[in-house]
Amino acid sequence: MSTRAPQAAAAPRAPPALRAFEPLVFARRRLVAAVLLALTAIFAAVAACSLPDAGRDRWLPGAHPYVQADRQYRAQFGGAAQVQLLLLHRQGDIYDAGFLRRLRQATETVGALPDVDPAQLHSLFAPGLDFVEAVEGGIYAGPVLPSDYPAQGDPAPAVLARLRSNVARAGLVGRLVSVDQRGAAVLAGLRPAGGDAAAADLPGTVQQIVAQVHARLSSPERWVFRAAQDLVAGRDFGLPGALRARAGTLVFHRGDTVAVRYDGATAWTRWSWRLAVPVRVQFADGSATPVRMPARLLAATGEANPDYAPDIEVHLSGELGRAAGLPRAAAEAGGFVALLLALAGAALWLCLGSIRLALLPVAAALAALAWQLGLSRLAAGSGGHGGLDPAALAPACLVLAVSLTQGALLAAAWRRAIGLADCCSFDAALSAWRAVAPCTLAAVAGAALCFGTLAAAPVPALRTMALDGVLGMPGELAANLVLLPIWLSGLGERHARPAPWRALAPLWSLPAQVARPPLAVCALALCGAVLGGALWQGQRAAADEAAAGAPELRAQAAYNRDVRIVAAALPLAAAPVEVIARTGADGCTRREVMDQVDGLAQELDDTAGVLATRALPAQARLVNAAINEGSPKFRVLPRGREALAHAVQPFTPASGLLNEDCSAMPVWVFPADRSGATVARILRAAAAFDAANARAFYAGHPGANAASCNGSPQAPRQCPVQFVIAGGGALIAAADATAAAWHCRLLLLACLAAAVCAGLAARSAGGAVAAALPPILAAALAYALPAVRGAGLSVQSLPLAALAAAVALGPALHAQAAWKRQRAPAGGAVAACRGFLDDSGIALLLAGLALGAGAAAWLFSAVPAQREFGVLLALSAGVGALAGLLAVPAALSLAASAPRPALPADHSIGL
């Protein structure tokens, strides 16, 4: 690579707008390349600091009333952030000494985790679990776990029998004990850190539960790590900033047990322990921290696991449980990016004949990806998300696709320039740059514009994606318009080997017939038919109502299987829908208010598919009866304020039935199944009751003012109870509604953006139509994809159309530009098309093949969103290439009324 730019006399002149940039790229190549590579390294380092972030919140439409209610009340009722751990006894029921010992162990382990809130720990062995019953003169509360249940050793059969009857008394079947009494649950919520449960370490907690509870019961072996020497904090291992003052403390003596691990089933984990072992260090004052202890300081021994229980199954469900499946999915995504690049490189090698030449576009794509990830991370800031959401791969896909396509076209142009003019590498690079750069610039800008339309949808994750897509532009430009030409200019001419496929060139005469008017009409009619079919199919897409669990994971993924098992065993453990009654302070001591809440609970109870509801009025009825000698005739809400206060007095906010000042009372709804159809029915019933209740209230209170009641967060006393909907199932419904509303709109926006870009680039009506056709086709196919594949429409599939349009736009612009250059006066349309295909056909096919081959690898991903992106990328690449080769010339040959003079051959970019 020389620092002085040699004169490239043979090269055509670049358009005036780009001419100014030529010296920037080619004058000081070594310096420019060094600066850009340094920036790439910095961005890569920044990107590497990102952690998997599977925050479901980002995928929710923040302005939706369900989402707002959920955010407002989540901390008060702690509905969402719950882990449900189910221990199932394979042989017999739970009233077995061995099983209960394991259940107690699991409860203690989960309860001791730093982020688990002890107040939200529920299990037969959790403290404070009482049953209540009516006795002479009132109610009696006793512990479910009999007081003579031994702390050590096995309980007597009589104690187990009493436990069984207490479980029935406390109504725990379906909530903490499975319906068939073969399993028992440990339910836990995260410690609210500053009132925000999301601040606690969610994936970390799940990993510890998996490692310490699941593995402990299911691994026949365990690994004990003892200190090989005295271990001093700060000297032998690092400490986090907050605990720096503890440096110098002797934490373990030689021979002390430092850690016991049960999760060494995979060779990979055991290998990782040869480097460092995750250990929890506890200081004398109670402060503790996780530490990665260097393996050289420890002596490891494998031994039989005394807690191994092959007759107990462990299933993990809940919001926390969901986090368990995602870090692995994120790691998988990284693997698939690598595979995509490798396959694309192989395809390029096959077509270009030189491995070094093939690697350059791949390296450029990698650099562009590093820029995009780094810039996104920086844009998100330290407090923002910026994590790698395994479901939010679209921007990365976009960058790779655009970069690989443009890189492949530039590499092909470089090789052709050397072959045609037999010139030096530098001149060829400059010539190729001049020919390709305008189109690349248009393609990159167009892709960003198409993808940027996602920002229109009211979903934070889509807005972040749109921003990330736009932030991919600098990287794409730096990599493909600066780095890649510089690399090409330094590459030896010997790498421009003759095309292996050159012998096949005569075959182009066959597809060239598409330029004949009848065939051109047929081709365009075919495009129209595909477009119409795709639009018709796309309309059929509906939310996947049967889905349960994490839609971003495969239905057969272990987590989703666990969700189904736990939901069947513990139908009353977690409610997917809660309807919160907003009443104004002390609502629960006002009969009129309680009556309305009771009416809602009854209405929901009557809704098809609802198994049970849980709400304060029903519980207050029970207490009132208990106060009156248990007589069912007193299972009522007393009219007097004092009597009602008595009836609700046993219930604290920890019961989940009311908040601190009793201004909000949730009605928890437990459906028989968690399908979207059932949840939707419940939501409709709740909304209908809310409206009818308000009407009835205003009819009965002529003085009440509807205008002053609406919208106030806490209804004043002369207002009907306001019912707002929250809960995980409702959030999914809100997201599905958004997906349904924006599915078509985003398609139209993406098509509009593609058409605008095509029009600006082509500057003629025919050219614009021709260049816009492939991206619109690709977008329509992406729009139809969820329906065609039978997968449900979800918010995660919303970016597909924009992504497809953005990916297919580049090749279309290139094809249109190449055709414009090629169109010759003599020989007619077919000859012109033949020339166009001869020049650009292989390049376009090559770009499509490289991307399609890489994207096909994603089909094996465990995350449906990733598989969908794989299908979509392959599809868009294929459509981009095919439509570029056939539809663009067909459209242009029909549109072109006056032939243009031929441009010099060295303008062409083909092989």
Partner 1 sequence: MSRAGGAMAARRRQPLRTLAGLVAAAGMAFAAVAQAPPAPPAPAPRAAQRLLLGIAAAGDRLVSVGARGAILVSSDAQAWQEVDVPLRSDLTAVSFADAGAGWAVGHDAAILRTTDGGRSWTVQRYRPEAGQPLLDVLALDRDRAYAVGAHGLFLQTQDGGAHWAEVQAPVVREAELNLYGIRRLGKGALLVFGEQGRLAWSVDDGRSWRALKSPTASTIFGAAALADGGLLLCGAHGNAFIGTDPRRGAWRKLDTGGVQALFACGPAGAGRLVLLGAGNAALLLEPGAGTASRIGDAEAAAAGLDAPTYSGFAPWRGELVTVGSRGVRRMPLPAPTP
Which residues here bind partner 1, judged by CB under 8 A? 131-134, 136, 139, 165, 168-171, 536, 539-542, 595, 598-599, 602, 605-609, 621-623, 625-626, 628-636, 638-640, 643, 672-673, 677, 680-681, 684-685, 737, 740-741, 743-745, 748
Which of 44/542 has CB closer to partner 1?
542
Four-CA torsion 701, 707, 709, 713, nearest 10 degrees: 170
Which of 137/381 has CB closer to partner 1?
137
Of 547, 168, 110, the closest CA to residue 316 belongs to 110
Of 836, 856, 834, 582, the closest CA to residue 723 belongs to 582
Which of 547/845 has CB closer to partner 1?
547
Residue 62, phi then psi, degrees to nearest 5: -65, -25
Which of 46/535 has CB closer to partner 1?
535
Q: How far is the CB of 243 from partner 1 (least distance, A)?
A: 48
| Residue pair 410/484 in contact by the 8 Å Cβ criterion | yes
Please report how many Cα atoms fall inside a 13 Å half-sphere around the Cα of residue 307, on the Cβ side.
Answer: 21
Residue 259, phi then psi, degrees to nearest 5: -160, 150
Strand partners, 225: 259, 300
Range 137-140, long-range pairs (CB < 8 A, 24+ positions): 138/626, 138/627, 139/623, 139/626, 139/627, 139/650
Which of 463/591 has CB closer to partner 1?
591
Angle between helices 591-605 and 676-700 in degrees, nearest 10: 150
Strand partners, 301: 224
Q: How far apart are CA 513 and CA 707, in angstroms?
A: 70
H, E, C per residue of 591-631: HHHHHHHHHHHHHHHCCCCEEEEECHHHHHHHHHHHHCCCC
Q: How far is the CB of 818 from partner 1 (least distance, A)?
A: 35
Q: How many residues does the chain have?
A: 911
Which of 359/731 has CB closer to partner 1?
731
Q: How far is the CB of 543 from partner 1 (least distance, A)?
A: 9
Q: How far is the CB of 585 from partner 1 (least distance, A)?
A: 24
Quick one: DSSP state of residue 98? H
Which of 439/694 has CB closer to partner 1?
694
Strand partners, 278: 292
Q: How far is the CB of 607 from partner 1 (least distance, A)?
A: 5
Interstrand relation of 231-232 and 221-227 (parallel, antiparallel or unpaired): unpaired
> Burial of 806 by CB count in 10 Å (0-12 exposed, 13-18 middle, 19+ buried)?
buried
Q: How far is the CB of 539 from partner 1 (least distance, A)?
A: 4
Q: How far apart are CA 102 and CA 649, in angstroms?
A: 36
Q: How far is the CB of 168 from partner 1 (least distance, A)?
A: 5
Q: How far is the CB of 704 from partner 1 (least distance, A)?
A: 19
Which of 390/538 has CB closer to partner 1?
538
Q: How far is the CB of 673 from partner 1 (least distance, A)?
A: 8
Q: How far is the CB of 745 from partner 1 (least distance, A)?
A: 7
Residue 500, phi then psi, degrees to nearest 5: -65, -25
Which of 274/639 has CB closer to partner 1?
639
Q: How far is the CB of 636 from partner 1 (least distance, A)?
A: 4
| Residue pair 484/360 in contact by the 8 Å Cβ criterion | yes
Q: How far is the CB of 735 from partner 1 (least distance, A)?
A: 13
Q: How far apart are CA 671 and CA 91, in angstroms?
A: 29
Of 751, 689, 396, 395, the closest CA to residue 538 belongs to 751
Which of 118/700 has CB closer to partner 1?
700
Which of 530/542 has CB closer to partner 1?
542
With residue 461 as reference, give the H or E element that holds it.
helix 460-477
Q: How far apart are CA 599 and CA 596, in angstroms?
A: 5
For the chain, count helices (H), then strands (E).
30, 16
Q: How far apart are CA 379 and CA 189, in angstroms?
A: 32
Q: How far apart are CA 864 and CA 858, in angstroms?
A: 10
Using only C-alpha atoms, what is the Rg of the chain?
33
Q: How far is the CB of 565 from partner 1 (least distance, A)?
A: 20
| Residue pair 50/377 in contact by the 8 Å Cβ criterion | yes
Which of 137/711 has CB closer to partner 1?
137
Which of 95/336 has CB closer to partner 1?
95
Strand, helix or coil for residue 229: coil
Angle between helices 765-788 and 888-895 in degrees, nearest 10: 150
Q: How far is the CB of 59 from partner 1 (least distance, A)?
A: 18
H, E, C per residue of 15-77: CHHHHCCHHHHHCCHHHHHHHHHHHHHHHHHHHHCCCECCCHHHHCCCCCHHHHHHHHHHHHH
Which of 132/380 has CB closer to partner 1?
132
Which of 440/607 has CB closer to partner 1?
607
Q: How far is the CB of 750 from partner 1 (least distance, A)?
A: 15
Q: How far is the CB of 72 from partner 1 (least distance, A)?
A: 24
Which of 271/536 has CB closer to partner 1?
536
The CB density around residue 285, as the number of other CB atoms within 10 Å, is 8
Which of 137/195 has CB closer to partner 1?
137
| Strand ranges for 161-235 from DSSP E | 183-189, 221-227, 231-232
Of 731, 701, 737, 739, the closest CA to residue 719 belongs to 701
Q: How far is the CB of 834 from partner 1 (least distance, A)?
A: 40
